[in-house]
Structure 1
């Protein structure tokens, strides 16, 4: 006759609960260690991973351009070269166009700073009151309780000559990765499809490749076109109100518009600082900011939802943390790459 099962005792239940807790703790520890290892790998591989990732994103953006070139019988190797040369030409044209006005504003920076100090001279009264109050507190507490703070400038300024090889290496990695990705994107697709074991899986994978390339390219080109229009509108508005270097502010607005929330805030601060440094009346100071805010409001609430089909629903704090993280991990390249995915 079979023996009846022994009922579970409180000791058995506590042991099973302890094993479950330790098992969950071990899994959490493994995930945490894996996350730390991923952070370390991203930081260490910045020189290689950042330009390669950016090249893949840009390659997806210009993939349809290469496809249209190849329709005329141009081989993929040559069409990829056309894409790379076109990108280099756009960058060179932008640098040539904005180098002169940007250098002029850099040269005028001390004068603007002096005018800013004059505009903020009205705050000297409250600041002097705070300083006098601090001196009274120090005299009451006595000189013995004062804390002496010594700041030693032990930082070393890294020269541009030391940074030039690393920057040049990343540029070469980016251009080479972009060229080979665009030239061999069909071979990459065929190689991945050959790994699929069933016909249905190959069909689904092929559709995923097609949808990703088309949607990413369409989205990035649409965002770029919208930002270009924003830059043109800002340039016209700055020209209409008599703002110096209107094309420069339009280009800055177009570039910063890739960064949700943060870019618009930076642009407002820049226009406000320039207005404070170049204008004397309150209307002239606030008019450039008002024009930019109005253009950005129309773009964010009407134009972008109409063309893209969605509005910005992400949490601004999470966007800021994400951009900050990728700036820390991969520098400006990581920040720009994250902005494209927002």
Structure 2
């Protein structure tokens, strides 16, 4: 009696199966993005706390090596972070408030400098009127409902306070329980090889993110100092303020430097009498920023940890779209975490690996 042999799947069946898998993956990604947006009130401060916690992890570990319990080492690390933030915020807030009062003067100076463009603008306006008369277009009136500033602050203040509390609570508990969390995840892994691979992922994420963030923090501090010195040599008022602000904004790649150049252009308008002189502060900042981005950062973090600029741009754009300024800060650490995971599960992916780590991973299946 002959046994029927199973028929092989046709090309159409295989294509339909692959298409279904791609569709499910696409829907899963859309659901993940929707969940991030819907839960940004909670997810954004928790994600920020994890990133900052990875940066503060070495500080807590040093205290724990000296016999300090994790609960107290985490509290000490959070206190150090809070003191640094308060010191930087206090140094920036007072002079920044003074400059905020000079915004009308800066706007007046900008209008004065733009008077040279009055004739080209008038030409453009006349062309627009002619096109409108030919096409028979009509004026479009747009009304804007101007809400009360006090009412907006009353709505936003409790939300902001709640997010700050969630951030600090998440930061403390992440630092205090990070060892227990690692042990729980490793116990859930079945098999020694899988457990060892997951242990490598934990180690690489902590090491790479901590080293990267600490290096970037030092680089941004140096950038702020260099910008302050350059602006002081140009005679710009409050040079130390703009140097500190440049260091803070440099954590948000691309958008931070662009915003800083725009701010310094306004400062130049208020500090110098000519339009050419007002360009000196932003040009000096962009020159220092170019040296930092092209030479200092690759030298400090190493060529092996250099990220693809296009991937960086996509990551920053995505996370700013999802979570705003918080997303801009965690975009690069999130990309580093993704690369740290990928190099442990994707064959041949050796981003950021030292020679010793390459030899270790070469023995993994």
Deviation at 1:85, TM superposition (A): 1.2
Say if 2:42 and 2:166, in contact at 8 Å, map to a contact too.
yes
Match of 1:274 in 2: 267
1:162 to 152, 155, 161: 155
Correspondent of 1:35 among 4, 19, 29? 29
Residue pairs, 1:16-31, within 5 angstroms: 16-31=10-25
d(CA) in 2 for partners of 1:160, 1:42: 25
> 2:234 corresponds to which residue?
241
Rg larger in 1 or in 2?
1
Stretch deviating more after TM superposition (280-289 or 43-52): 280-289
RMSD (Å), alpha carbons: 2.8
Question: Could you tell me which of 135, 139, 164 is aligned with 1:148?
Answer: 139
Pick the aligned partner of 2:111 from 92, 109, 117: 117
1:307 & 1:65 partners in 2: Cα distance? 20
Does the Cα contact within 8 Å between 1:112 and 1:278 map onto a contact in 2? no
Name the structure 1 match of 2:186. Answer: 193
User: C-alpha distance in 2, partners of 1:79/1:63?
Assistant: 10
Correspondence 1:104 to 2:98 = yes
Map 1:70-109 to 2 at 5 A: 70-109=64-103
TM-score, with length taken from structure 1: 0.87
**Larger RCO: Structure 1 or Structure 2 (Cα < 8 Å, ≥ 6 residues apart)?**
1
**CA shift for structure 1 position 18:** 4.2
Distance 1:68 1:294, change over 3 A: same
8 Å CA contact 1:226–1:304 kept in 2: the answer is: yes
| Runs (4+) off by over 6 Å | none
Distance 1:146 1:210 in 2: 65
Q: Tell me how far apart the structure 2 counterparts of residues 266 and 119 of structure 1 sit (CA, whole Å).
A: 20
- Give the alignment of 1:1-342 within 5 angstroms: 16-139=10-133, 141=134, 145-154=136-145, 156=147, 159-310=152-303, 314-316=308-310, 318-341=311-334
The CA distance in 2 between the partners of 1:322 and 1:64, in whole Å, is 26
Q: Which moved more, 1:164-173 or 1:113-122?
A: 164-173
CA contact (8 A) 2:315 2:332 kept: no
Please identify, of 91-100 and 157-166, the stretch whose mean Cα deviation from structure 2 is larger. 157-166
Answer whether contact 2:223 2:243 (CA < 8 A) is retained: yes
Contact 1:323 1:339 in 2 (8 A): yes
TM-score normalised per structure 2: 0.82
Q: Measured at CA, do residues 99 and 290 of structure 1 come closer, stay the same or move farther in structure 2, by a change above 3 Å?
A: same
User: Unpaired runs of 5+ in structure 2?
Assistant: 336-365
1:234-279 per-residue CA deviation (whole Å, 9 max, x = no partner) reads 1111112110111121112112222333322222222223213331
